[in-house]
Structure 1
Amino acid sequence: MRPLLIVASTALALTVPAAAFADHHGGGHAAHKEQEAIAAAVAAPTRTPANIARDQYRHPAETLAFFGVKPGDTVVELWPGGGWYTEVLAPLAKAGRGTLYAAAPWERGLNRIKEWQGANADLYGGIKLAEFPNAGTNPKVPDASADVVLTFRNVHNWRFGGADNTANAFKQIFAMLKPGGTLGVVEHRLNESDDAAKEEKSGYMKESSIIAFAEAAGFKLAGRSEINANPQDTKDYEKGVWTLPPALREGETDRAKYVAIGESDRMTLKFVKPAS
């Protein structure tokens, strides 16, 4: 496990072992139970072996704990794609009687989730489907309904559609969260010294850019973590972040080199919607 680097006192408790939470009000017990629930979801037998093999790069248990995800929460996963995190979030929501939304472009961005709902209704049938960004005609995540919104390696895709598109996405996320709710962002990290034009094609984003989009929408930065950092990622590839696993767009060319680097260097940012 990589050490956490926290910039806000509200997130500091996540760096402390569960036993240190113990107090006369039972807070330590609650935190321990939440950690156990996340660990059980990560260990769910329904997860595919190929996805489990990537835990070493994505650190799902540590990441979800950093974002403060609890089993009974209403959680929104934006643009779930192939469902890597959905395999963890679905059993977590089911065990805790929480609510899980999958929100993506309607309907193509939800096809994998719909396939899973048909194949395993017991686990995935309860996932609610919503359009994101929402254009006003299809189901959306209701305003002020979510405890946590999560997006994993998606902000660069919104950025490809332009700065206005990205700003709109953050505004819609802000609207769907309850006051005091959390936005968790994991994204491929561009060096702050690099040309910002790389954000439009490389798949990498600067931390400062994402923080600026979030703050413009009304969010406050609550913490940042190095859980998903990878200092071996040089970020200078002709074919962008997709040069690295799992895409490996160079095929067999320098394959061993890129496999040895592993998946991209990633920022892990926690934002909150002010309570008032």
Structure 2
Amino acid sequence: MRHFRPVAIAALLTAVAAACSAPSHDAVAKDSAAKPGDALAAAVAAPTRTPANLARDKYRHPAETLAFFGVKPGDTVVELWPGAGWYTEILAPLAKAGGGTLYAAAPWDRGLNRVKAKQTENADVYGAVKLAEFPNAGTNPKVPDGSADVVLTFRNVHNWRFDGKDNTAEAFKQIFAMLKPGGTLGIVDHRLNESDDSAKEEKSGYMKESSIIGFAEAAGFKLAGKSEINANPKDTKDYPKGVWTLPPTLTEGDANRDTYLAIGESDRMTLKFVKPAS
């Protein structure tokens, strides 16, 4: 009989235990796959983002906001009224890395000029972004009905409200149509206190949560959640020149500039809606 020293036996037992507890090849491959959170973090950290936009992350919490809305790398995402492209700088790299599709949809074509400029400047990152008219009048490209996993709009519903209640209702109707059953609508907007006069929605840039929820539910959406990710209790919401008094616009220029910078960007609601699956 072959004899083993105690040290050798201990080493042998350790090796066997390690082999038994080692993950399988499939498990390693699965674990190494990019998780949605990792992909979002990478997109937020994209080297192509504008430094001035990066400075606003402390107010806008993009990774947390997109995670709350359930945005995944391979999704078909529609960004409504992207403006200068603050979120486009995150969503485009996310779609590119994950094999997803990104639509930028806005008034044709002035509302898409900033995105077009980005496509010209950096076709590698932005070239695949699809352009569509929103609200769509029937003559220019649109987001196909039932094609989107997620529709996002950041600080824009108040702009639609300026065009009247009927036009706002039509906008939500078109959003509902472009989403797949079970798809998500994510909204961030400047939040008016529920106790304030609703007439302020027509000029201040702030809207009540109840108003936006009302428009969404009337179009067929179900409220799926609220988040305080983008809340700012310092915002008094009582400025004669509206929300644009605060950064980044700072409408009053140097007047009370330090006060408004200390407040930061506006108090914002973050609402998640779902298009019913049936």
User: Residues 209-250 of structure 1: CA distance to partner in whole angstroms, max 9, x if unpaired?
Assistant: 000000000000000000000000000000000000000001
Kindly state the Cα deviation for residue 129 of structure 1 after the two structures are TM-superposed.
0.2
**What TM-score do the two structures reach when normalised by structure 1?**
0.89
Instruction: State the AA in 2 paired with 1:46.
Output: T
Mapped pair 1:198 → 2:200: yes
Kindly state the Cα deviation for residue 102 of structure 1 after the two structures are TM-superposed.
0.1
| 114-123 vs 204-213, greater mean Cα deviation | 114-123
Q: What is the alpha-carbon distance in structure 2 between the residues aligned to residue 140 and residue 127 of structure 1?
A: 13
Instruction: State the AA in 1 paired with 2:275.
Output: K
Kindly state the Cα deviation for residue 32 of structure 1 after the two structures are TM-superposed.
7.2
Secondary structure, in 3 states, of the residue corresponding to 1:44? coil
1:119 aligns with one of 118, 121, 142: 121
Q: What is the alpha-carbon distance in structure 1 between the residues aligned to residue 225 and residue 207 of structure 2?
A: 18
Mapped pair 1:39 → 2:41: yes
Q: Which runs of 5+ in 1 are unaligned?
A: 1-24
* Aligned position for 2:22: none
* Aligned position for 2:94: 92
Equivalenced residues, count: 251
RMSD: 1.6
Q: What is the alpha-carbon distance in structure 2 between the residues aligned to residue 240 and residue 253 of structure 1?
A: 15
* Aligned position for 2:103: 101
Instruction: State the AA in 1 paired with 2:218.
Output: A
2:148 aligns with one of 111, 129, 146: 146
**What TM-score do the two structures reach when normalised by structure 2?**
0.88
* Aligned position for 1:133: 135
2:275 aligns with one of 254, 273, 276: 273
Mapped pair 1:66 → 2:68: yes
* Aligned position for 2:165: 163
Q: What is the alpha-carbon distance in structure 1 between the residues aligned to residue 207 and residue 48 of structure 2?
A: 33
Secondary structure, in 3 states, of the residue corresponding to 1:224? strand
- Distance change in 2, residues 1:231/1:51 (3 Å): same
Kindly state the Cα deviation for residue 118 of structure 1 after the two structures are TM-superposed.
1.1
Q: What is the alpha-carbon distance in structure 1 between the residues aligned to residue 170 and residue 156 of structure 2?
A: 14
Q: How does 1:4-43 map to 2 (within 5 A)?
A: 33-43=35-45
Kindly state the Cα deviation for residue 31 of structure 1 after the two structures are TM-superposed.
10
Kindly state the Cα deviation for residue 30 of structure 1 after the two structures are TM-superposed.
9.8
Q: What is the alpha-carbon distance in structure 1 between the residues aligned to residue 228 and residue 73 of structure 2?
A: 24
Instruction: State the AA in 2 paired with 1:61.
Output: A
User: Residues 124-180 of structure 1: CA distance to partner in whole angstroms, max 9, x if unpaired?
Assistant: 000000000000000000000000000000000000000001000000000000000
* Aligned position for 1:247: 249
2:223 aligns with one of 221, 224, 228: 221
Q: Which runs of 4+ in 1 moved over 6 A?
A: none
* Aligned position for 1:110: 112
Kindly state the Cα deviation for residue 29 of structure 1 after the two structures are TM-superposed.
5.7
Q: What is the alpha-carbon distance in structure 2 between the residues aligned to residue 29 and residue 78 of structure 1?
A: 34
Secondary structure, in 3 states, of the residue corresponding to 1:189? strand
**Looking at CA atoms only, which structure, 1 or 2, has the larger radius of gyration?**
2
Q: What is the alpha-carbon distance in structure 2 between the residues aligned to residue 76 and residue 161 of structure 1?
A: 22
* Aligned position for 2:175: 173
